[in-house]
Amino acid sequence: MQKSLKIIKYLLWAGIFFIPFTPLIVTSSLFFPFITGKNFFFRILVEILLGLWFVLALYDKRYRPRKSWILIFFGAFVFIMSLATIFGANPYHSFWSNYERMEGLLTYFHLLAYFLILTAVLNTERLWKWFFHASLGVSAVVGIYGILQMAGKLAIHQGSVRLDATLGNASYLAVYMIFNIFLALFYFAKEKEWYKWFYLPLIALQAIILYHTATRGAILGLIGGLALAGFVIALFSKSKKARVSAVSFIVLIIVLLGSFWALRSSDFIKRSQVLSRFSSISFHETTTQSRFVIWKMSWEGFKEKPILGWGPENFNLVFNKYYQPILYKQEPWFDRAHNVFFDHLISGGVFGLFAYLGLFFSALYYLLFKRKQIGFSSYDSAILTGLFGAYFFNNLFVFDNLISFLMFFAVLGYIHTRAVNQVPQTELEPRENVGDYKKPVLTAIAVAATVFTIYAVNVPPLLASYNLIGAFKESATRNFESALKSFQKSISYGSFGSTEAREHLVNFAMNIVQQPKIKKDIKIKVFEYASSEMKKQITQSPGDIRYMVFLGALYNKGGEYDKAINILEKAIELSPKKQQLYFELGTSYLNKGDYKKAVKILRTAFELEKSFDGARKIYALSLIYDGENNLAENVLKEKFGVDVIPDQRFINAYARTGDFKMVARIWEKFIEKSPSNAQYRVRLAATYIKIGKREEAIKQLQKAIELKPDFKKQGEYYINEIRAGRKP
């Protein structure tokens, strides 16, 4: 048996040392390639390791959990989130989450298992050093990837100048680099051998990548974390030289920050895409204002459910219910507060936030108040305290992801291990506890449970994701019937992936029903299936207006206007200030021909936030359809200074109501903006013919021929027809 236990232990070590490689995983064959591959890899690996660890702990008591305040708060956090899920607004979504995030209660269970396995198996300082050095090695690979993005050799996936490497998101990359910078500093301070100097170029690489993520919260967090580390050294170090150096370092940081702020308007800073982001920080900045609005909405949501919150992954319900129209400048659907602490207030209420903060407080308790008992030097405590400070500050402005969770709980696990083991330096001899006849039975149950969990948790959503990607590919090649089959197959697995499959199915259906060359029977089949599935989604996610909007938009595209009106009115009851709902409902009434009702609905949307130019235009359009042209022109002139603007929607509206003089004026505006566009001149010529300006039409066609010589034959034909008194 001892040999078998040793094999299990080696397998556990091997599996654990695979976990730091998670950031490198990108799976283009799955939906959300930077998220899903990493998460499925982590989940499957943890599930296997959990089964192995259970067997090892069953036979050897040394590998069973040992109590610390960190473990107590972590256990309390997962327990509270379990209650919040059960009694929350949408237990299914709270448990499973979705492809874009892959968090929820299921991930918290995996993270707790990850923590227990790490702290039980990595029971020596040497093992933890190897584990963290694996992370440092991977961070170097990720850093090199980022350097290649900077050099233009590899694409930046977000499409901007902000590096994202293999994490696919600049903010995710930034917090990953923060953890590894402090880990490298930690081992630089601990190491006594000459090779400690290799940490410095690694830190430089990590810092360069962090800088070029241009993530302000993370970079300021790093600076603040370093200052905090200096403060702890000044407080605890027995060396006068170290204390003076630490205070000098803090003063240097303050001077540099002050100098930057004093020079924030200089050309040097303005020319830097990274530094200019920092110089633009103010209470009046759009991003800052939107954060304050969202945090205010979060507070309202917390007050409604203060004890256990709304359940994990349900911030979107709060966002919709307490939506403020001023957020029209932002994306329409937020599922995070962009503040971890508000996120936990919403997901777990005051108890959830308290348990989460307890993780920080308990770690600092061991680092600052128990450091001598567990063998932390002043440098150890300072650097790890600085790390938590940087991470805490960063979390004020963003949200967590799997990689930040893995790093956070690994560092917590290390502190926990030091606390319960009193700094073990050598690996103890294994000790068997054999003889209980129940243990083989429990081992068999553990094996069966592991196999079942791996399949039930991972296989259906993996297959659903794979088939969803297949549907996209089939649709792109216009193989619509095959695409529909792939959508059906993706949804048939009954996983949490069905939600996103249904969303994209509706988009697919709206595209299909508008294409004239597609057979009617295929259109009907796709439309009916998509509407049926979205109804199921609404039943599964009660109170989530996102799916109501999808269904309402689908009904509008399919000509089912009364059904669209019915579902959209229900959505407005749940989110009375979300203009997007009024836009879609107004569209229903416009399509139905009830222009008076459309005007009323779209005026309400406009009056919710008059600074929203889009709402103003849509309201003006409804007035045109209702024959209120003068009022429409006044609404436009009030903001834009003119009564006509170059917008195809206004051309359609005026043409629909027979006012081709206004159509001509709009085409003239288009030509003012793009005088070399031949197609605009042809359209204007056609409009001139409708209002009897035949000579002006000829002039526009002649100009179009000059701009586009290959139009000459067709243009001269039109001109000859006009001169002959006919309509070309």
pLDDT in tens, 369-391: 999 999 999 999 999 999 999 99
* Residue 426, pLDDT score: 43
Report the distance separating Cα 545 and Cα 195, nearest Å.
58
Residues 6+ apart with CB under 8 A from 664: 684, 687, 688, 691, 693
CATH 3.10.450.50 fits 660-728, yes or no: no
How would residue 489 be classed by pLDDT, with cut points 50, 70 and 90? very high
- Does residue 439 carry a pLDDT above 90? no
pLDDT tens digits for 7-26? 999 999 999 999 999 999 99
Report the distance separating Cα 697 and Cα 710, nearest Å.
19
Report the distance separating Cα 600 and Cα 582, nearest Å.
10
How would residue 545 be classed by pLDDT, with cut points 50, 70 and 90? very high
Element (H, E) at 401: none
Least Cα distance to 465 among 28, 22, 106, 92 occurs for: 28
Q: Identify residue 226 by its one-letter amino acid code.
A: L
> What SS3 class is residue 271?
helix
The larger pLDDT score, comparing residue 437 to residue 574, is at 574
Would you state the structure tokens that stand for residue 580, as one six-digit string? 């997007």
Would you state the structure tokens that stand for residue 452, as one six-digit string? 């079942």
> What SS3 class is residue 611?
coil
Would you state the structure tokens that stand for residue 201, as one six-digit string? 């170029």
Report the distance separating Cα 479 and Cα 482, nearest Å.
6
Report the distance separating Cα 321 and Cα 577, nearest Å.
8
Q: Which of 121-130, 215-224, 509-518, 550-559 has the lowest mean pLDDT?
A: 509-518
* Residue 436, pLDDT score: 67
Report the distance separating Cα 528 and Cα 78, nearest Å.
41
Can you list the positions of beta strands (E) in 529-634?
A: none
- Does residue 634 carry a pLDDT above 70? yes
Please state the rounded mean pLDDT for residues 136-146: 97
Q: Are 264 and 274 in contact (CB under 8 A)?
A: no
Positions of CATH 1.25.40.10 in the chain: 558-643, 660-728
Report the distance separating Cα 705 and Cα 712, nearest Å.
5
Mean pLDDT, the chain, as a whole number?
92
* Residue 280, pLDDT score: 74
How would residue 434 be classed by pLDDT, with cut points 50, 70 and 90? very low
Report the distance separating Cα 593 and Cα 598, nearest Å.
9
- Does residue 279 carry a pLDDT above 80? no
Report the distance separating Cα 564 and Cα 561, nearest Å.
5
Specify the fold of 558-643: 1.25.40
Please state the rounded mean pLDDT for residues 86-106: 95
Would you state the structure tokens that stand for residue 25, as one six-digit string? 């995983």
Please state the rounded mean pLDDT for residues 467-480: 93
pLDDT tens digits for 69-80? 999 999 999 999
* Residue 423, pLDDT score: 44
Report the distance separating Cα 536 and Cα 547, nearest Å.
10
pLDDT tens digits for 407-432? 999 999 999 999 998 644 344 444 44
Q: Are 487 and 471 in contact (CB under 8 A)?
A: yes
CA–chain centroid gap for 550, Å, is 20
* Residue 435, pLDDT score: 53
- Does residue 582 carry a pLDDT above 90? yes
Residues 6+ apart with CB under 8 A from 353: 341, 344, 345
Please state the rounded mean pLDDT for residues 115-126: 95
Would you state the structure tokens that stand for residue 632, as one six-digit string? 């429409």
Q: What is the 3-state secondary structure (H, E, C) of 44-90?
A: HHHHHHHHHHHHHHHHCHHHCCCCCHHHHHHHHHHHHHHHHHHCCCC
The larger pLDDT score, comparing residue 434 to residue 543, is at 543
Would you state the structure tokens that stand for residue 252, as one six-digit string? 């240097």
* Residue 335, pLDDT score: 87
pTM of the model: 0.91
Please state the rounded mean pLDDT for residues 537-561: 94
Place of tokens 């029971």: 123
* Residue 724, pLDDT score: 79
Place of tokens 């307890």: 358
Residues 6+ apart with CB under 8 A from 81: 105, 108, 312, 347, 348, 352
Report the distance separating Cα 508 and Cα 487, nearest Å.
10
pLDDT tens digits for 303-316? 999 999 999 999 99
> What SS3 class is residue 34?
coil
- Does residue 478 carry a pLDDT above 80? yes
Would you state the structure tokens that stand for residue 7, as one six-digit string? 């094999």
Q: Count CA atoms within 13 Å of residue 157 on its CB side.
A: 17
Q: Identify residue 462 by its one-letter amino acid code.
A: L
Q: Identify residue 517 by its one-letter amino acid code.
A: K
Q: What DSSP assignment string belongs to 462-477?
A: HHHHHHHHHHHHHHHT
Report the distance separating Cα 13 and Cα 120, nearest Å.
11
Q: Are 550 and 506 in contact (CB under 8 A)?
A: yes
Q: What percent of the chain has pLDDT over 70?
A: 98
Report the distance separating Cα 390 and Cα 180, nearest Å.
12
Place of tokens 């050093």: 129
Q: Give how far Cα 435 sits from Cα of 58, 582, 591, 716, Å.
A: 11, 70, 78, 100
Residues 6+ apart with CB under 8 A from 427: 123, 124, 126, 127
Q: Which of 177-186, 278-287, 344-353, 463-472 has the lowest mean pLDDT?
A: 278-287
